Amino acid sequence: MNHYKAPVQDLRFALLDVLGVESVYARIGAGAVGADIIEAVLEEAARFNETVLAPLNQSGDQEGCHFDPDSGRVTTPRGFKEAYRQFVEGGWSGLTAPEAYGGQHLPESLGAAVKEMIDAANLAWGNYPLLSHGATEALKHHGEDWQKEVFLRPIVEGRWTGTMCLTEPHCGSDLGLLKTRAEPGPDGTYTVTGTKIFITAGEHDLTENIVHLVLARLPDAPPGTRGISLFIVPKIRTARDGTLGEPNRVRCGSIEHKMGIHASATCVMNFDGAEGYLIGQPNKGLQAMFTMMNTARLAVGIQGLGLIERAAQNAAAYARDRLQMRSLAGPKYPDRPADPLVVHPDIRRMLLTCRTLAEGGRLLALHAALQVDLMERAPDPKEREAAAELLGFLTPIVKGCLTEWSIECTYHALQCFGGHGYVREWGMEQLARDARITTIYEGTTQIQALDLIGRKVIQLQGAGLKRFLGLIVEFCTAQTGNPALAEFVAPLAQAAQDWQQLTMEISRRVMEDPQELGAAAVDYLFYSGYVALAYWWARAVEAADRVGDARLAAQKRARARFHFQRLLPRTLAHAAAIRSGAGNLMALADDELAP
């Protein structure tokens, strides 16, 4: 009973009217991707996701994956394999991949819009092609020519999928503790031995081969993260000419029984002298790994966005239909026995929170994805450098905030349903369960927060932050004197100044006490997210006014006003928490934290 309607019109508005991607695409050599192509891709993606993937979401959750311990094989839920076949036949597997390897090379920002639909329609199913995109990026940037031909091409074509094998039982985000080893052979291959856990789509029945990208140590590797290399380890042994041989010595040992994403196979993968190939340079695996990881982090942020959108849609539909009590101001629908839920202020608060974070978050995510296009295609090296700096800064905000907001919004949406939200048939509890993992995998919220303030702001001297603040200043300067935007421009300009001031305060505190970094990080992440969305909501109002659609302009203005008046003030609490310092966190001894 849970539905999904792809937000094609808002995606079109975001891409064409707010971000102005047509002119950007023309400038970076993708001028063939005009409004007609963008609209055609969005419409066809909407059809596929609404009619093929969305109907499998609840049934896939209820059935889950099937694991055969004797063979180590995983079978996906009914309908998943056929959906994947249609996905490949539709050309979606190679949408943004290089043409040289069978892809369509459409912009990543357009691919991000399609990905949002997939994640909203069926998050668990979307995990199977998700890591293929990361593997594509790693092979594209770090693989040898023959590796691209042998491994990248079938991934782009959808005949194979990819994985990212990082985590081990004794180490999560601390990759310096990694133990998996790789022994060089006389023929240029390596034998990889070790156990990896939490491997998304590590085993399944959708494709004939799976390309595992595995972090491991060479025999002479230095300790810690300086001694990590990356290896291609296919499920089926694959020769340098692409010929498939016998099954490789890699096997799924089990699948996890999880809180959510039941239809996504999360595997324990055992490598027992499996044959593989080094990708990139020895002991330089982290560089290639971060190519995958940063791609995946942006992708997981978009997962959070998709869940917010779907939850918001269902909650709004239910609130309009469900009759409960009368409005505090008197009956709004006197011909009915009670008023619908939507008349009650706090129901509207929850609905508006979901809708505002969805539409503002969409602009944030698509803008980040547009930086990928600029970084890879802009003809000016300085513009590519600027895009890389901005992307690096935005990635932890997209990943950290959109996933945390997906938890907030799926719980708001469930709450709108009352008791019906808690039972399985309405599908709302599934959205809440599925959302929970997004704040954990591909780097927890805490990891994103430390990356933002520790590396992107302090270590890199705020290069990306300065660029984003520059966008805000440029917009506010251009709109000064525009009475239609006055209610947004002044508080946005002040928020940008406050953001800069708070950043400088944290930097000074960290110089005096390194613990201040960890104490401030998550609050700073959220602070940054709310200010970033204020910028995008002001931009949305300006664009809607320019388009000339009165209904759209009124909607965007009301939602922007809600963000500025209801959500942006959350920054005050985050700033107060940051300024309280690390002392209230670190005062107690470790054993005094227990009851």
Contact call for residues 94 and 102 (beta carbons, < 8 A): yes
Rounded to a whole number of angstroms, the distance between the first and last alpha carbons of the chain is 43
pLDDT band with cut points at 50, 70 and 90 for residue 345? very high
What pLDDT does residue 595 have? 87
- Across the range 470-489, mean pLDDT stands at 97
Q: Is the pLDDT confidence value at 454 over 90?
A: yes
Compute the average pLDDT of residues 533-541: 98
320: confidence class by pLDDT, cuts 50, 70, 90: very high
Indicate whether 501 belongs to any domain.
yes
- Is residue 172 scored above 80 in pLDDT? no
CB 456 within 8 A of CB 528: no
What integer pLDDT is reported at residue 288 of this predicted model?
82
Give yes or no for residue 290 having a pLDDT over 90: no
Is the confidence at residue 414, as pLDDT, over 80?
A: yes
Return the half-sphere exposure (C-beta side, CA atoms, 13 A cut-off) of residue 446: 6
Q: Return the DSSP state at 323.
A: B
Cα dihedral: 38, 42, 44, 46 (round 10): 180
Provide the pLDDT for residue 396: 98
Q: How far apart are CA 94 and CA 160, in angstroms?
A: 12
In a domain, 382, yes or no: no
* Active-site residue flag, 425: no
Q: Which residues pair with 171 in a beta bridge?
A: 168
In this prediction, residue 106 carries a pLDDT of: 98
Identify the pLDDT of residue 294.
Answer: 85
Kindly report the pTM of this predicted structure. Answer: 0.98
**pLDDT band at residue 326 under the 50/70/90 scheme:** very high
CB-based contact 183:219 (threshold 8 Å)? yes
Which residue intervals of 3-122 are DSSP H helices? 8-12, 21-27, 35-48, 57-63, 80-89, 108-121
**pLDDT for the residue numbered 26:** 98
Q: What angle do CA 456, 435, 555 make, to 5 degrees?
A: 80
Q: Which of 200-209, 280-289, 504-513 has the lowest mean pLDDT?
A: 280-289
Q: What is the 3-state secondary structure (H, E, C) of 229-282?
A: EEEEEECEEECCCCCEEEECCEEEEEECCCCCCCCCCEEEEEEEEEEEEEECCC
Point out the catalytic residue in the list 389, 442, 516, 542.
442
Q: Calculate the alpha carbon distances from 289 to 328, 449, 533 in Å.
A: 56, 19, 29
Report the alpha-carbon distance of residue 120 to residue 435 in Å, rounded.
11
* Residue 209, H or E segment: strand 209-216
3-state SS track over 157-176: HCCEEEEEECCECCECCCHH
Please give the pLDDT value at position 289.
81
534 located within any domain: yes
**pLDDT tens-digit series, residues 207-217:** 999 999 999 99
How many of the other CB atoms lie within 10 Å of CB of 546?
11
CA distances from 589 to 509, 583, 592 (A): 22, 12, 5
* Other CB atoms within 10 A of residue 362 CB: 28
d(Cα 531, Cα 496) in Å, to the nearest integer? 7
Residue 199: what pLDDT?
97
Q: What does the block give as tokens for 389? A: 């700096």
Segment 34-38 mean pLDDT: 98
Domain-located, residue 463: yes
- Bridge partners, residue 167, by sequence: none
Task: Flag whether 74 is in a domain.
Answer: no
Tens of pLDDT, residue by residue over 92-118, are 999 999 999 999 999 999 999 999 999
C-alpha separations of 392 from 111, 364, 450, 468 in Å? 19, 13, 13, 11
- Contact at 8 Å (CB) between 216 and 181? yes
The verdict on residue 528 lying in a domain is yes
What is the chain's mean pLDDT, rounded?
A: 97
Residues 164-175 as b/e (b if ≥16 CB within 10 A, e otherwise) read bbbbbeeebeeb
Report pLDDT for 177.
82
For residue 453, name the pLDDT band (cuts at 50, 70, 90): very high
What is the residue range of 528's domain?
459-586
Query: How many distinct structural domains can be found in the chain?
Result: 1
pLDDT at 224: 87
Kindly state whether residue 97 falls inside one of the protein's structural domains: no
Percentage, residues of the chain above pLDDT 90: 94
Token digits of residue 178: 């990694």
Question: At residue 434, does pLDDT exceed 80?
Answer: yes
Mean pLDDT throughout 152-165?
A: 96
What pLDDT score was predicted for residue 225? 86
In a domain, 434, yes or no: no
